[in-house]
A and B are shown apart, each in its own frame.
Chain A
Amino acid sequence: MPEIKVTPLGAGQDVGRSCILVSIGGKNIMLDCGMHMGYNDDRRFPDFSYITQNGRLTEFLDCVIISHFHLDHCGALPYMSEMVGYDGPIYMTHPTKAICPILLEDFRKITVDKKGETNFFTSQMIKDCMKKVVPLNLHQTVQVDDELEIKAYYAGHVLGAAMVQIKVGSESVVYTGDYNMTPDRHLGAAWIDKCRPDILISESTYATTIRDSKRCRERDFLKKVHETVERGGKVLIPVFALGRAQELCILLETFWERMNLKAPIYFSTGLTEKANHYYKLFITWTNQKIRKTFVQRNMFEFKHIKAFDRSYADNPGPMVVFATPGMLHAGQSLQIFKKWAGNEKNMVIMPGYCVQGTVGHKLLSGQKKLEMEGRTTLEVKLQVEYMSFSAHADAKGIMQLIRMAEPRNVMLVHGEAKKMEFLKDKIEQEFTGISCFMPANGETTTIPTNPSVPVDISLNLLKREAAFGGPLPDPKKPRTMHGTLIMKDSSLRLVSPEQALKELDLNEHQLRFTCRVQLQDPYSDTDTLSRVYNHLKSVLKGYTVQHLPDGTVMVESIVLKVSSSAEDPNTKVVLLSWSYQVTPGCTIQGSQLPH
Chain B
Amino acid sequence: YTSHLRIEQHPHEEVPAKKLRLTKPSKSAALHVDLCKASSPTDALQYLLQFARKPVEADSVEGVVRILLEHYYKETDSSVRLKIASLLGLLSKTQGFTPDCIVDDVINTLNSERSHQVLAQLLDTLLVIGTQVPESLNMRHRLIDVACKHLTDTYFGVRNKCLQLFGCLGSVDKPLPRESEGGGTGMAAKDVQSIISDYFGDQDPRVRTAAIKAMLQLHERGMKLQQIIYNQACKLLSDDYEQVRSAAVQMVWVLSQLYPESIVPIPSSNEKIRLVDDSFGKICHMVSDGSWVVRVQAAKLLGSMQQVSPHFLEQTLDKKLMSDLRRKRTAHERAKELYSSGEFSSGRKWADDAPKEKVDTTAVNLIDSGACGAFVHGLEDEMYEVRIAAVEALCALAQSSPSFAEKCLDFLVDMFNDEIEEVRLQSIHVLRQISTHITLREDQLDTVLAVLEDSSRDIREALHELLCYTNVSTKECIQLALLELLKNLTKYPTDRNSVWKCLKFLGSRHPTLVLPIVPELLSTHPYFDTPEPDMDDPAYIAVLVLVFNAAKSCPTMTALFSDHTFRHYAYLRDSLSHLVPPLRLPGRKLTSAPEASGLASSVESAQNFLKESLTRVCSVQQLDAPGAQSLLEFTIRDLQRLGELQTELAGTADFCATYLHCQLLLMKALQDKLWSVAVPLYLKQNAMVSGAAAQVLEETYKLEFLYSGLESRQIASIHHVRLQAKALQLVLLARTRRGVEPLLSACEKFLHEVDAFQRLFVTELPHFQDSFVDKLLDIMPRLAGSKPADLVKILQTTLRHSCFPQLKLPEQIRRATAAIIEPTGESDNPLRFTSGLVVALDVDATLEHVQDPQTTVKVQVLYPDGQSHVIQPKPADFRKPGPGRHRLITQVYLSHSAWTEPCQIDVKLLLAYSSSTSRSLGPRSAWNESTEGPTPLESTIEGTIPLSKPVKVFIMPKPARR
Q: Is the CB of A182 within 8 A of B380?
A: yes
**Would you call B321 and A183 a contact (CB within 8 A)?**
no
Is A213 touching B379 in the complex (CB atoms < 8 A)? yes
Alpha-carbon gap, A403 to B240, bound state (A): 12
Q: Mark B114-155, 1 if CB is under 8 A from A, else 0.
A: 000000000000000000000000000000000000001010
Q: Is B365 within 8 A of A209, CB to CB?
A: no
Give Cα distance in the complex from A379 to B766, angstroms: 95
Once bound together, how far apart are the Cα atoms of A495 and B365, in whole Å? 52
Interface pick from B396-404, B411-419, B877-885: B411-419
Known contacts A212-B321, A289-B420; is-contact A188 B382 (Cβ 8 Å): yes
A183 CB contact (under 8 Å) in B325, B330, B331, B382? B382
B203 touches A210 (CB 8 A): no
Chain B residues with CB below 8 A from A185, complex form: 419
Q: For residues 389 through 416 of chain A, which have their beta carbon under 8 Å from a beta carbon of chain B?
A: 395-396, 399-400, 403-404
Known: A194-B240, A396-B319. A258 touches B350 (CB 8 A): no
B348 neighbours in A (Cβ, 8 Å): 220, 385-386
B605 to chain A, nearest CB (A): 52
Asked if A549 is at the interface (CB within 8 A of a chain B CB), the reply is no
Q: In chain A, residues 5-39, which have Cβ atoms closer than 8 Å to a Cβ of chain B? A: none
Decide: A260 and B453 in contact? CB cutoff 8 A: yes
Q: Is A287 an interface residue (CB 8 A)?
A: yes
Asked whether any CB of chain A lies closer than 8 Å to the CB of B381, the reply is yes
Return chain B residues, CB-CB under 8 Å to A219. Answer: 414, 417, 447
Q: Quick one: given A366-B350, A471-B152, are A215 and B373 in contact (CB under 8 Å)?
A: no
Is B262 an interface residue when CB atoms closer than 8 A count as contact? no
Instruction: Say whether A254 faces chain B, with CB atoms less than 8 Å apart.
Output: yes
Give the residue among A223, A254, A257, A288 with the most B Cβ atoms within 10 A: A288
Which of A193, A259, A365, A474 meets B455, CB within 8 Å?
A259
B367 on interface, CB distance cutoff 8 Å: yes
On chain B, the residues within 8 Å of A218 by CB distance are: 417
State whether A383 touches B347 (Cβ < 8 A): yes
Contacts of A80 in B (CB 8 A): none
C-alpha gap A404/B295 in the complex (Å) = 13
B288 cross-chain contacts in A, Cβ below 8 A = 400
Give the residues in chain A near B491, CB-CB below 8 Å: 260
Residue interface bits B441-483, CB-to-A below 8 A is 1, else 0? 0000001001001111000000000000000000000000000
Q: Is A191 in contact with chain B by the CB < 8 A criterion? A: yes
Kindly provide the distance from the CB of A192 to the nearest chain B CB, expressed in whole angstroms: 7
Chain B interface SS verdict (over half): loop
CB of B16 within 8 Å of the partner chain: no
Contact between chains at B368 and A430 (CB < 8 Å):
yes
Question: Chain B nearest CB: distance from A131 CB in Å?
Answer: 35
In the bound complex, how far is the Cα of B606 from the Cα of A582, in angstroms?
Answer: 108
Is A516 among interface residues, defined by CB-CB distance under 8 A?
Answer: no
Q: Are A210 and B361 neighbours in the complex by a CB distance under 8 Å? A: no
A213 and B367: CB pair below 8 A?
no
Q: Are B379's CB and A208's CB within 8 A?
A: no
Contact of B382 with A288 in the complex, beta carbons under 8 Å:
yes
- Check B536 for interface membership: any CB of A closer than 8 A: no
- Smallest CB-CB separation from A363: which chain B residue? B350
**Cβ–Cβ < 8 Å partners of A289 in chain B:** 384, 419-420
Write the B203-220 contact mask toward A (1 if CB under 8 angstroms, else 0): 100000000000000000
Q: Which residues of A contact B324 (CB under 8 A)?
A: 208-209, 419
Give the Cβ gap from A89 to chain B, nearest Cβ, in Å: 30
Q: How far is the CB of A133 from chain B (nearest CB, A)?
A: 29
* B380 in contact with A183 (CB, 8 Å): yes
Task: Give the docked Cα–Cα distance between A217 and B351 (Å).
Answer: 14
- Say yes or no: is B320 at the interface (Cβ < 8 Å to chain A): yes
* Also in contact, A384 and B350, with CB within 8 A (given A185-B419, A214-B380, A215-B415): yes
A284 to chain B, nearest CB (A): 14
Contacts of A212 in B (CB 8 A): 319, 321, 328, 330-331
Q: Which residues of A sit under 8 angstroms from B365, Cβ to Cβ? A: 430
From B330, B332, B373, B417, name the one whose CB has the most chain A CB atoms within 10 angstroms.
B417
Which residues of B lie under 8 Å from residue A471 when comparing CB positions?
A: 152, 154
Given the interface pairs A226-B450, A386-B350, the reply to whether A208 lies near B290 with Cβ below 8 Å is no
In the complex where A212-B330, A287-B382, A396-B366 touch, is A193 in contact with B323 (Cβ < 8 A)? Answer: no
Q: Which of A258, A259, A384, A472 has the most CB of B within 10 A?
A: A258
A187 to chain B, nearest CB (A): 9
Within 8 Å by CB of A217, from B331, B373, B453, lies: B331
CA of A210 to CA of B330, assembled, Å:
10
Binary A-proximity of B369-386 (CB < 8 A = 1, otherwise 0)? 000010010011111100
A189 at the interface (CB under 8 A from B): yes
**Nearest CB of chain A from residue B622's CB, rounded to whole Å:** 70
Return A39 CB to nearest CB of chain B, in Å.
24
Task: Tell me the bound Cα distance from A270 to B288 in angstroms.
Answer: 40
Closest to B317 in A: A213
Smallest CB separation, B148 vs chain A (Å): 15
The reply to whether A210 and B320 form a contact with Cβ atoms under 8 Å apart is yes
B379 contacts across to A, CB distance below 8 A = 213, 215
Chain A residues near B554 (CB-CB < 8 A): none
B912 sits at the interface (CB 8 A): no
- Choose from A183, A365, A422 the contact partner of B350 (Cβ within 8 Å): A365
Instruction: Report A-chain residues with C-beta under 8 Å of the C-beta of B453.
Output: 258-260
Q: A193-B290, A396-B366 known; A288 and B376 CB under 8 Å?
A: no
Nearest-CB distance from B233 to chain A (Å)?
19
Contacts of B325 in A (CB 8 A): 208, 419, 422
Measured between beta carbons, the chain A residues less than 8 angstroms from B417 are 215, 218-219, 222
Is B322's CB within 8 Å of the partner chain A?
yes
* B366:A399 contact, CB within 8 angstroms: yes
B364 within 8 A of A: yes
* A147 proximal to B (CB < 8 A): no
- The complex places the Cα of A215 from the Cα of B330 at a distance, in Å, of 11
The answer to whether A254 and B419 touch across the interface, beta carbons within 8 angstroms, is yes
Bound Cα distance A183, B414 (Å): 15
Contact string against A for B residues 826-867, beta-carbon threshold 8 Å, 1 for contact and 0 otherwise: 000000000000000000000000000000000000000000
Bound complex: CA of A489 vs CA of B453, how far in Å? 75
Tell me if A211 is interfacial: C-beta within 8 Å of chain B. yes
CB distance from A212 to the nearest CB of B (A): 5
Are B331 and A223 interface neighbours, CB within 8 A?
Answer: no
Q: How far is the CB of A231 from chain B (nearest CB, A)?
A: 13
B381 closest partner in A (C-beta):
A183
Cα distance, A404 to B294, chains bound together (Å): 13
**Are B454 and A259 interface neighbours, CB within 8 A?**
yes
* Interface pair B420/A422, CB less than 8 Å apart: no
- Measured CA separation A324–B618 after assembly (Å): 89
Task: State in angstroms the CA–CA spacing of A289 and B419 once bound together.
Answer: 8
Cα distance, A209 to B415, chains bound together (Å): 23
Tell me which of A188, A365, A403, A476 has the highest count of chain B C-beta atoms within 10 A of its own C-beta. Answer: A403
Closest to A208 in B: B325
Contact A404:B290 (CB < 8 A) given known A226-B450, A258-B456: yes
Q: CA A191 – CA B295 in complex, angstroms?
A: 13
Question: Within the assembled complex, what's the spacing in Å between the Cα atoms of A223 and B414?
Answer: 12
Contact between chains at B383 and A288 (CB < 8 Å)? yes
Name 26 A/B residue pairs within 8 A (Cβ), A-sorted.
A189-B381, A189-B382, A210-B321, A211-B319, A212-B319, A212-B321, A212-B328, A215-B414, A215-B417, A216-B330, A219-B447, A254-B419, A259-B454, A260-B455, A287-B382, A289-B384, A385-B348, A396-B319, A400-B288, A419-B324, A422-B325, A425-B361, A426-B366, A430-B367, A472-B154, A476-B201
Q: A419-B325, A422-B361 are in contact. List 9 more A-B contacts (CB 8 A).
A: A208-B325, A209-B324, A213-B376, A215-B417, A220-B331, A220-B348, A222-B417, A404-B290, A425-B361
Report B's interface with A, CB cutoff 8 A: 152, 154, 201, 203, 240, 288, 290, 319-325, 328, 330-332, 347-351, 361, 364-368, 373, 376, 379-384, 411, 414-415, 417-420, 447, 450, 453-456, 491
A residues whose Cβ falls under 8 Å from a Cβ of B = 182-183, 185, 188-189, 191-194, 208-220, 222-223, 226, 254, 257-260, 287-289, 364-366, 383-386, 395-396, 399-400, 403-404, 419, 422, 425-426, 430, 471-472, 474-476
